[in-house]
Amino acid sequence: MQTVARPFNAVVDALLRSPRLRGLVQGRMTVLTYTGRRSGREVRLPVGYERGGPERVLVRVGLPYRKTWWRNFTGDGHPVTVLLDGRERVGHGVVVRDAGRVTVDVTLEP
C-alpha cells in the first residue's frame, strides 16, 4: 500500500505548491507537516480537509485502524504546519474520536 501512496503523495504535494495548478486540489486537499513523536523525522502528508472556521482545519482520518500517522496528535496534541492557499500556517492538532471516527482538529495561529 505504501508503494502506491508515496507517488500519489508526491503528486498532490507538487500540485498544492504550484501557483498555476493548485486550483485542481485546493480547498479539498492540504499537506500536513509535523515531526514524528517517536521517529523525530519530519513527515509531509497530503490529506483531505475541511475548514471549521477561519482559524480551524478538520482532517477526517479514513480507515484509522489501518493508519498510524494520526496517533502523533493524541493526548495534548502536537504542533503541525498546514499548507493553505499556497501558504504554510502553523497550528496545533488534537485527535477527536467520536463513534469510531477519528478527526485531527487543527487550531491555526493567527
- pLDDT tens figures, 56-93: 999 999 899 999 999 999 999 999 999 887 789 999 99
Residues with Cβ within 8 Å of residue 110, at least 6 apart in sequence: 55
> Above pLDDT 70, what percent of the chain?
75
Q: What is this structure's pTM?
A: 0.79
Alpha-carbon distance of 77 to 52, in angstroms, equals: 17
**Which DSSP state fits 62?**
S
Residues with Cβ within 8 Å of residue 53, at least 6 apart in sequence: none
* Dihedral-angle region of residue 100 (phi above 0 means left; psi in -120 to 50 means alpha; beta otherwise): left
More confident residue, 21 or 93: 93
